[in-house]
Structure 1
Amino acid sequence: MEQGRAWDGMGPYASAGTPPDARVPEQARGEHTHGERPAPRAVRRHSVRGQILDALRSALVDGELTPGEVYSAPALGARFGVSATPVREAMQQLAAEGAVEVVPNRGFRVSEPGPRELAELAEVRALIEIPVMLRLARTVAAADWYALRPLADATVAAAAAGDRAAYAESDRAFHRAVLGLSGNLRLVQVADDLHRRSQWPPAVGPPGRRAELLADAAEHTALLDALIARDLTLVRSLVREHFDGADV
């Protein structure tokens, strides 16, 4: 996490349609800061939990929630202008996804997956996705692959902007769309869960973020070209290479 950064207001949480860009304040960690801050806007009550969950996911992917640090639901709730309940519910969901760990009577600690855990996630994803993509490469019409080009382009745009949270969402959307052509909803759900678990916390620091994201995004475009050409050898190689760099 970059030193001195803090959440700068509640603008991203005022509308469910606005992508969150969470910044963790000192207050969220129970620290005292001097000076007054603008009063946060109230989150719409009908989608509080969903908005908080999206905001926390973005903060995790973007490295704004520090691995190993404990955050309390009441402190985060105060910052969001909501009660601790929706924050706690969102954190419980993140705990189920492996992003945080429950610390009794304190809050939630951001998980710190090691190289071995990330490598295992990449291996399992490869075992699931490579055979499916090879089968799809043999059977799916080129027009269906061309239809996914905007999703690949979206990953490139997010990478060019250095927006890790937007990249994480567009990356998973691309993979879901590719696997969705199999017609196997359960497979898509399992693969997406593994994909999400591999995305946080980020292993790449800010200096190398944009370059790493751009390289990862370029692999999506190359994969589509290989699928359109039905080049099975290249498809296998690209997917394996993509998963080898899955800690981006």
Structure 2
Amino acid sequence: MRGQILDALRTALVGGELVPGEVYSAPALGERFGVSATPVREAMQRLAVEGAVEVVPNRGFRVTERTPRELAELAEVRALIEVPVMLRLARTVPAARWAELRPVAEATSVAAARGDRAHYAEADRAFHRAVLSLAGNEQLLTVADDLHRRSQWPLISAPVVRHGVLVADAAEHTALLDALIAQDLTVVESLVREHFTGLND
């Protein structure tokens, strides 16, 4: 139950249904999702660890107000970690293995075409996990996924992400696979750096 509520809350956060700066109580959210306050409280505690919400004693949980500077810092850290890994993988992973990831990239395009920010966020992380998993480093996957998730929480008073921005972001996944297959290291590095900041411009 906690896992289901956690997924539902993440979807509401990424989709903007839970507003940055607003405080939400576990009982009220439990009523909204048709469950008791306990699984909501447990899920919110997990989201607090991830940096999506802050605990407000005796009131509930405040949705974190992410600033453009914080998102830029997250993008910088992701680049420091992932760019070297991507370049190493581009040199060593066979083209056929990259081609197997095309359906994962296509899933992001489908979500983007629908303008579904929440499902796009999940598909986007799935694509990046699939690519980085080829490095065979579980610690890398854990750290990279945490940074990626933190970068997806909404900005303060952020406007709804435009449909065209999602579509362009998804197209970068296919372009990245093409560059990895071609072992074009210059394009790989450029695409990865630009992709981290694309949805936050």
Normalised TM-score (structure 2): 0.96
Letter of the 2:159 counterpart:
G
Cα offsets for 1:181-200 (capped at 9, x unmatched): 00001101100000000001
1:81: Cα distance to partner?
A: 2.0
Matches within 5 A, 1:204-215: 205-206=159-160, 208-215=161-168
SS of residue matched to 2:54: strand
Match in the other structure for 1:81: 34
Match in the other structure for 2:173: 220
Q: Paired residue for 2:73, among 114, 120, 124? A: 120
Which has the higher relative contact order, 1 or 2, with Cα contacts under 8 A spaced 6 or more apart? 2
Determine the C-alpha separation between the residues in 2 that align with 1:212 and 1:234. 20
Cα offsets for 1:60-105 (capped at 9, x unmatched): 0001100100000011112222211100000000000000000010
Amino-acid identity (%): 77
Cα offsets for 1:203-244 (capped at 9, x unmatched): 7523x5211101110111100000000000110111111112
Match in the other structure for 2:43: 90
Q: Paired residue for 2:84, among 99, 120, 131? A: 131
Matches within 5 A, 1:31-180: 48-180=1-133
The alpha-carbon distance between structure 1 residues 218 and 170, as it changes in their structure 2 partners (threshold 3 A), is same
Equivalences, count: 200
Determine the C-alpha separation between the residues in 2 that align with 1:137 and 1:188. 17
Instruction: Name stretches of at least 5 consecutive residues in structure 2 with no aligned partner.
Output: none
Determine the C-alpha separation between the residues in 2 that align with 1:247 and 1:62. 14
Match in the other structure for 1:230: 183
Determine the C-alpha separation between the residues in 2 that align with 1:155 and 1:205. 21
SS of residue matched to 1:66: coil
> How much is the aligned-residue C-alpha RMSD, in angstroms?
1.2
Determine the C-alpha separation between the residues in 2 that align with 1:172 and 1:93. 18
Determine the C-alpha separation between the residues in 1 that align with 2:151 and 2:199. 7
1:141: Cα distance to partner?
A: 0.2
SS of residue matched to 2:9: helix
Match in the other structure for 1:245: 198
Determine the C-alpha separation between the residues in 2 that align with 1:161 and 1:202. 22
Instruction: Name stretches of at least 5 consecutive residues in structure 1 with no aligned partner.
Output: 1-47
Letter of the 1:205 counterpart:
P
Runs of 4+ in structure 1 off by over 2 angstroms are: 202-206
Determine the C-alpha separation between the residues in 1 that align with 2:197 and 2:63. 24
- The structure whose Rg is larger is 1
Determine the C-alpha separation between the residues in 2 that align with 1:138 and 1:121. 26
Match in the other structure for 1:36: none
SS of residue matched to 1:102: strand
Normalised TM-score (structure 1): 0.78
Cα offsets for 1:88-135 (capped at 9, x unmatched): 000000000000000010000000111111001000000010000000
